[in-house]
Amino acid sequence: MLGEQFDIQTLRALPLFSPLSDEELELLRPALTVESRNVGDVLIQEGDVGETMYVLLVGEVKVVSNHREPTEKVVATLKPIESFGDMSLVSGEPRSASVVCTGSCRFLSLDREGLERVLIQHPAVCLHLLQDAHRKLRAALPKEGNQHN
């Protein structure tokens, strides 16, 4: 559960939550948890079922495919206020990559159960998460692949 330092204005400063109303943010706030992790910790394992999404508050993480394999490839490096894990959480599909801490990190996390409690009362939150996931997918496609809207 979030401490008092995470008021509505703080949550609104995070791009993932900025379009939500005050009422939606108040409903979401109790479902969010602050977590701390250390260098080398694997937050998300490629292929696992998505049960939690994260917003990075402090530190840096790397998104990798084939983690700890000879073919490991760093797909992206994420910095504070970026979110991840939401596409698998919303779609129910297996994780497409692993996410590993490159140093000490702090996150907001939201698990499937917490998200479902919010969605029952405010389905519009789901629409925003889907729009954010779509934006990320489009950004990940090569420019010539963006011809299809």
At 24-75, the pLDDT tens digits run 888 888 889 999 999 999 999 999 998 999 999 999 999 999 998 999 999 9
87/52: higher pLDDT: 52
Q: What is the pLDDT of residues 121-147, one digit of tens each?
A: 777 777 777 777 777 777 766 765 444
**Least-confidence region, from 73-77, 88-92, 98-102:** 88-92
Using the CB atoms, write b or e for 57-84: b if 16+ within 10 Å.
bebbbbbbeebeeeeeeeeeebeeebbb
Backbone angles phi, psi at 117, to 5 degrees: -60, -40
pTM (2 d.p.): 0.80
Strand-pair category, 98-101 with 61-65: antiparallel
Cβ atoms of residues 81 and 14 within 8 Å: yes
Q: Which of 110, 120, 69 is nearest to 88 (CA)?
A: 110
Spatial separation of the C-alpha atoms in residues 110 and 107, rounded to whole Å = 10
Provide CATH code, domain 8-121.
2.60.120.10
Q: Is 63 helix (H, G, I), strand (E, B) or coil?
A: strand
